[in-house]
Amino acid sequence: MAVGDELLWEARDKGPRAVPRLRRMAVVAAVLGFVALLFMVEYDVGWVLWVAGAYLAAELAHLGWDRRRVVEARLVDDTGGGGARLRLRHVGGRAGEFDPHRVSGVLVVRDNVDGSATLRLRLSGRRTVFGRPGPPPALMAWRAACPRAHVRDRQAYWGMPGVPD
């Protein structure tokens, strides 16, 4: 069965988002520096260093998690002559190929505010792989690509403020 190259998922933003991260870190550093200068005269400001360290650790953990998110999923032909392979490309540029029969679950979470959707793939014997937000994919393509997977979608649990759900 020749599959060719079929796009199953594509995120809107595929880059590492370095500029917003650096801007956010600069704003937090400026606010902490201002608070430290404000309270330095009368109080001990050692807690500012602890807060800055905790924020830096949280930012590094988020960076590590974000680099493993999927930005593109394609169904491609196997170069070894076998069947089709599922190629997942991550934010960090790493790409991996998997057997589509190993996918045990596909969940598309639709955001009811801006119309985007996020992808969650559950591979058998492995962890859940998360995708960055993108346009909602066609579920029938996922059902055809991964025949053993439980493919479903759902709305997000939050709603738009002021609008009844």
Other CB atoms within 10 Å distance of the CB of residue 121: 25
Both 24 and 43 in one domain: the answer is yes
Supply 26's token pair.
Answer: 């600069």
**In the listed set 10, 44, 66, which residue is the last one of a domain according to the structure?**
66
Query: Rounded to an integer, what distance in angstroms lies between the CA atom of residue 136 and that of residue 72?
Result: 13
Q: Which residues contact 49 (CB under 8 A, 6 or more apart)?
A: none
Say how far residue 110 (Cα) sits from the centre of its chain: 14
Q: How far apart are the first and last CA of the chain?
A: 45
Per-residue pLDDT in tens (0 to 9) along the chain, 165 residues: 445 688 999 999 888 888 888 999 999 999 988 988 888 777 787 888 888 889 999 999 999 889 889 999 999 987 776 788 999 999 988 999 888 998 999 999 998 888 899 999 998 877 889 999 999 999 999 999 999 999 999 988 876 666 555
126 and 91 in a single domain? The answer is yes
Q: Where are the alpha helices (DSSP H) in 12-45?
A: 18-39
Domain count, the chain: 2
Helix (H, G, I), strand (E, B) or coil at 107: strand
- Give 17's strand partners: none
Q: State which H helix or E strand residue 54 sits in.
A: helix 46-67
Same domain, 89 and 124: yes
What range defines the domain where residue 48 resides? Answer: 18-66
